[in-house]
Amino acid sequence: MGKTKNLKFNFDISSYRLLGRELITDRITALFEIVKNSYDANAENVFVEFHDVNTRKDISKIIISDDGIGMSYSDLQNKWMVIGTMSKRETRMSPSPYNRKLVGKKGIGRFAVDKLGSHVILKTTVKGSKVLHCLKTDWRDYEELENQQLQLKFDDDSFQYFTDIENEYWEEEVPPIKQGTRIEIYNVTDPWSELDVKKATSELSKLISPIQTFQYPFNIYISSNEYDDFQDRLVENNSIGFASLDTEISFDLKKGTQQVLHFDENTGNLNIIDVPISDSNNGGMGPIKMRLFYFNQNDKRRFKRSYAGAIIDGVKIYRDGLITTPFAEHAIERDKERDILGIDKRRYSGFFDKISSRDLLGFVEISDSLNPMIIEATNRQNFVDNDEYRELRNFIINQIEELEKRLSAQKREEREQTKSNLRIARNDLKETSTIIKAIKNIATPEVKSELGLVERNVREIEVQIKRGINEFNELEKEQNKQRDLFLSLMSLQEYAAEISHVVRTAVANIADSAKFFNVYFPNPKYSEQYLLHASHIEAEMNKLALAIDFMLSYAKSNIGFKEIDLGATLGNLFNKTYRDRFIKADIHYTIEIRDSFVFTHNVKFFEDIFENLISNSMKALKAVKGPKHIKCSGSLKGDMYEILFSDNGPGIPEKLRRKVFNIYFTTTEEDGGAGMGLYIVQTRIKAMKGTVSIIDSEFKPSGTTLKICLPIKSDE
């Protein structure tokens, strides 16, 4: 060891807390940060060594070393020891010829060390130097001081600043060809099990795109003296090997073309076609390289078996081969990962055909030179929201959608193929039977008796196949039914959220009034308000009672789903259930169902819609002096079935139209309107994935017309 002296960090508690510790949330992120620092230092190789870490012992240590540019004494003093210089932010590139885009967080990698262990020895040297600069830091000293400082005893004479803590510095000799930095971490905070090391490996493997070839390599090696699998193991991203579908698109700068995925419905193939590059000089996102890997259930199982702790986690964007910052931060909890590209958000609009980010690994390659306007936001949580980035996001989603089309076509194809194979098998057997019959006619008695046995067997198989075909068809029908049920359950979820909103609102209002009494009563300043609050409480209680009735309608109704013929059901409702009441109220009604429409749903729920509409119209028609009309018509409109429901009542003023579907909104309070009718109508129609809106009245100038659109589901 050479001369020993002391060095002090040049920062204070506020910057320590502000810039450092609170940004590093867990140890895997910490490791990730340190390795990113090596990348920024032009290292080609980083070695992460775990020594005796399985249980925490005195000899446990973690060593991270690289062959990067290292630090001189002045670097150590003026950069490492000073927070706030942020030298990284001023030059965004690492030194030439590597010119790597810097990925480390705002100079806080050194704090990451603290998360791994409190006692650190840093050894570093630059090329050509014979001196290895060594610095020992014990973060416990800082923590102790931080605790003292938080007590804010400013008048205490012994008060110390972070800048007062002395860190031991010494020099050692090195062969001049060596360069790089070595961080030895002792007093390791937590034990690292083999699974922990595997997880860390899996995280580190995401740092570099598996589809990029670097001009200058960046290899990470992990080793452990305890785990056999980790003997200078190269960290590689092999996850993509398990995917059953792999697509790749690129671009050709000379031709000015960008490849995109295109699903051809006629051939069922996922093709790659050329389109013009979106020119970054003219406000475009620039050319994109992308690879998508789709994992089906089997692939996922194999993937999980081979990569303990690893996950399939969607599409990530890499710039010049290295992960971009919004994706570069590890999230411990899966659910806290952010859906930056909005892939999972799409699934709510069509559960069955959409791929989730858990089925997909994607690597989007951009570069500083070709995609200059795709910029990471300064908060590192997203990209700067500009037209170019939006274009990129749409581009990625479009590619995924083409892939989805291919997958659902494939599913359909496989189903058809199975069906047709079964049919072919049945026909083949029939033919076999015919041939056997023919042979029997010319065969000897012994052969005939043998053939009889074969014939019986063939017939039995034929019956089995027939049964198989029937079961297959039944299963398909059942599956469609289940899908319908599932869709309505999804909307039940929506409904549950709505009901809880209603109950919470009422409870909040009651609590507010109670609070008012509690705090202000009997202050005479508010004497008028007390009465108001008493009546609010009563009104809110009534609303709660209504909401409970509505919930009970679900409990009482038969949850079973069955086929409903729209025409017949409406006919029944108008001509039987309501006929007498219409006559009594002097209402003339018309039903015009032009196209037949049969669907699977809960009969009670469907009837609810029209019972509420009829009841609303009858209330509205009370005010009409002349002839009273209710009209209901239905017809196919493209892939929707459209129902128009009209009356010639006083109508709904334009400005109230968007409010009438709100719960408790009513204009017929005196007629017993509670504001539930149209709310129920809308909820039930939503459950059928349909829409309802108020359009211009058929009975102009007065009257109301509601337009209901229900989707016609294909048999996919």
Partner 1 sequence: MKSNIDIVVIHDNVKRESYLITELQEQYNNVKLIDDADDGIEYISHNFSHKTIVVLDMDFGNGTNGFDVLKAIRQYSFLIEVIILSANEPSDARNALTNNIPELPGLRVFDYVIRGNPNWQEKVIEKVNKAEININGSIMNAIDSWIEIQSKDRRKKPFVITNDGVQYSLDQLKKAIQQNDDTSRKLEEKILMMAIKLMSKTPKE
Q: Which one of the spans 6-14, 56-64, 177-185, 419-427 is the region binding partner 1 (CB under 8 A)?
A: 6-14
Q: Which one of the spans 10-18, 301-309, 598-606, 646-654 is the region binding partner 1 (CB under 8 A)?
A: 10-18
Q: Which one of the spans 200-208, 291-299, 333-341, 458-466 is the region binding partner 1 (CB under 8 A)?
A: 333-341
Burial class (CB in 10 A: 0-12, 13-18, 19+), 616: buried
Residues 6+ apart with CB under 8 A from 58: none
**What is the Cα–Cα distance from 446 to 321, expressed in whole angstroms?**
77
**What is the Cα–Cα distance from 238 to 307, expressed in whole angstroms?**
9
CA–CA distances in Å: residue 432 to residues 55, 422, 442, 470, 674: 70, 15, 16, 22, 72
Q: Report yes or no: 119 and 186 within 8 Å, Cβ to Cβ.
A: yes
Nearest to 663 by CA among 499, 542, 493: 499
Closer CB to partner 1, residue 408 or residue 529?
A: 529
**What is the Cα–Cα distance from 195 to 640, expressed in whole angstroms?**
53
Our finding on whether 513 is near partner 1 (CB under 8 A) is yes
| Number of residues near partner 1 (by CB under 8 A) | 56
Our measurement of the distance from residue 590's CA atom to the centroid of its chain's CA atoms, rounded to an integer in Å, reads 48
Backbone φ and ψ for 114, nearest 5 degrees, come out as -55, -30
Our finding on whether 423 is near partner 1 (CB under 8 A) is no
Closest CB 713 distance from partner 1, rounded Å: 25
Residues 6+ apart with CB under 8 A from 388: 280, 283, 284, 285, 286, 371, 373, 374
Of positions 229, 339, 450, 716, contacts partner 1 by CB under 8 A: 339
Of positions 44, 77, 78, 82, contacts partner 1 by CB under 8 A: 82
Give me the sign of the Cα torsion angle 515, 520, 522, 525. Answer: negative
Closer CB to partner 1, residue 3 or residue 525?
A: 525
The residues facing 120 across adjacent strands are 137, 185
**What is the Cα–Cα distance from 405 to 412, expressed in whole angstroms?**
11
> For residue 430, how many other CB atoms are within 10 A of its CB?
12
Our finding on whether 195 is near partner 1 (CB under 8 A) is no
- Which positions from 391 through 420 interact with partner 1, judged by CB under 8 A? 393
Closest CB 14 distance from partner 1, rounded Å: 7
Indicate the Cα dihedral angle 644, 648, 651, 657, nearest 10°: 0
Our finding on whether 497 is near partner 1 (CB under 8 A) is yes
Closer CB to partner 1, residue 50 or residue 661?
A: 661
Closer CB to partner 1, residue 12 or residue 698?
A: 12
Q: Is 99 left (phi over 0), alpha (psi -120 to 50) or beta?
A: left
Our finding on whether 529 is near partner 1 (CB under 8 A) is yes
Of positions 491, 505, 557, 668, contacts partner 1 by CB under 8 A: 505
Closest CB 105 distance from partner 1, rounded Å: 15
**What is the Cα–Cα distance from 112 to 120, expressed in whole angstroms?**
11
Give me the sign of the Cα torsion angle 572, 574, 575, 581. Answer: positive
Closest CB 345 distance from partner 1, rounded Å: 7
* Structure-block tokens of residue 117: 């262990």
Of positions 1, 59, 152, 519, contacts partner 1 by CB under 8 A: 519
Residue type, 286: G
Closest CB 102 distance from partner 1, rounded Å: 17
Of positions 161, 216, 351, 352, contacts partner 1 by CB under 8 A: 161
Our finding on whether 460 is near partner 1 (CB under 8 A) is no
Q: Is 279 helix (H, G, I), strand (E, B) or coil?
A: coil
- Which positions from 367 through 386 interact with partner 1, judged by CB under 8 A? 377-379, 381-385
Of positions 57, 130, 255, 345, contacts partner 1 by CB under 8 A: 345
Of positions 298, 394, 500, 527, contacts partner 1 by CB under 8 A: 500
**What is the Cα–Cα distance from 283 to 510, expressed in whole angstroms?**
55
Our finding on whether 340 is near partner 1 (CB under 8 A) is yes
Q: Report yes or no: 265 and 250 within 8 Å, Cβ to Cβ.
A: no
Query: For strand 628-637 and strand 587-593, is the pairing parallel, antiparallel, or unpaired?
Result: parallel
Tokens 């010494």 found at: 170
Q: Which one of the spans 272-280, 312-320, 355-363, 525-533 is the region binding partner 1 (CB under 8 A)?
A: 525-533
Q: Report yes or no: 362 and 369 within 8 Å, Cβ to Cβ.
A: no
Q: Report yes or no: 621 and 613 within 8 Å, Cβ to Cβ.
A: no
Our finding on whether 662 is near partner 1 (CB under 8 A) is yes
- Which positions from 532 through 571 interact with partner 1, judged by CB under 8 A? 532-533, 536
Closest CB 600 distance from partner 1, rounded Å: 28
Residue span 274-313 as binding mask against partner 1, x where in contact by CB under 8 A, dash where not: ----------------------------------------
Closer CB to partner 1, residue 520 or residue 599?
A: 520
Closest CB 659 distance from partner 1, rounded Å: 6
Closer CB to partner 1, residue 152 or residue 497?
A: 497
* Structure-block tokens of residue 173: 């000799």
Closer CB to partner 1, residue 85 or residue 569?
A: 85
Of positions 331, 665, 686, 712, contacts partner 1 by CB under 8 A: 665
**What is the Cα–Cα distance from 454 to 436, expressed in whole angstroms?**
8
Of positions 6, 55, 163, 394, contacts partner 1 by CB under 8 A: 163
Nearest to 374 by CA among 449, 321, 413, 318: 318
Q: Which one of the spans 8-16, 122-130, 456-464, 563-571 is the region binding partner 1 (CB under 8 A)?
A: 8-16
Closer CB to partner 1, residue 415 or residue 657?
A: 657
Q: Is 383 left (phi over 0), alpha (psi -120 to 50) or beta?
A: beta
Closest CB 22 distance from partner 1, rounded Å: 15
Closer CB to partner 1, residue 7 or residue 340?
A: 340
Closer CB to partner 1, residue 164 or residue 416?
A: 164
Residues lying near partner 1 in the complex (CB under 8 A) are found at 10-12, 14-15, 18-19, 82-84, 86, 161, 163-164, 338-342, 345, 377-379, 381-385, 393, 497, 500-501, 503-505, 507-509, 511-513, 515-516, 519-520, 526, 529, 532-533, 536, 658-659, 661-663, 665
